[in-house]
Amino acid sequence: MKQLLLFARWVDRINENIGRAAAWLVLVAVLVSTLNALARYSLHIGSNAFLELQWYLYSAVFLLGAAWTLRRNEHIRIDVVVGRFSPRVQAWVDIVGGLFFLLPLCALILWDAIPYALDAMRSGEVSSNAGGLVLWPARLLIPVAFALLLAQGCSEIIKRFAFLSGLISANEFEKGGAAQEAAAVPAAVVEQHGK
């Protein structure tokens, strides 16, 4: 279990960093949108490339932020029902949901998205809009994002099993828990219980 917890910690750190970086893309998208609007209405110049860049940036925010959202336990679910359960039952609900819904869905999307992105890269596919951008960066975001989400799903399942085994506390994965800002699995806990 020690190695699995170290893997979960590594995945958490990667998705935390990527998610924080992706959040800054909102500001970039707003700036691009503002400049595009100013150029369009004050200088009467329009650019499909700027419009598509906005779409790419917003797509990147949502796709790359999905794993971070799961890591922080801020994803959408039925808290009205699940919130009434004990932490142990909640952990089992998360495990079952992850194993039977999240991981298979990520695998299915990866199965289709990887060839889709590779085809766009090989062909150098460009937007059909006049002055549009190449499409492969946006298409590559799909498998990258779902690979990150798949890894984070595995991390969350590992942490739930570690909680059920008494290796970590529930605040390691609870929404808004104090441990969210710290590493997912403190090294002392891994050392103490990993033997």
Positive or negative, the CA dihedral 183, 185, 188, 190 is: negative
Alpha-carbon distance values, 63 to 70, 73, 89, 122, 138 (Å): 12, 16, 29, 22, 10
**Per residue in 43-70, pLDDT tens?**
888 778 888 888 899 999 999 999 999 9
Cα–Cα distance for residue pair 60/166, rounded to 1 Å: 37
Q: State the CB neighbour count (10 A cutoff) for residue 112.
A: 12
Q: Is the pLDDT of residue 102 over 90?
A: yes
pLDDT of residue 1: 78
pLDDT of residue 100: 96
**Per residue in 127-182, pLDDT tens?**
777 777 888 898 999 999 999 999 999 999 999 999 999 888 777 766 643 344 44
**Per residue in 9-28, pLDDT tens?**
999 999 999 999 999 999 99
pTM of the full structure: 0.81
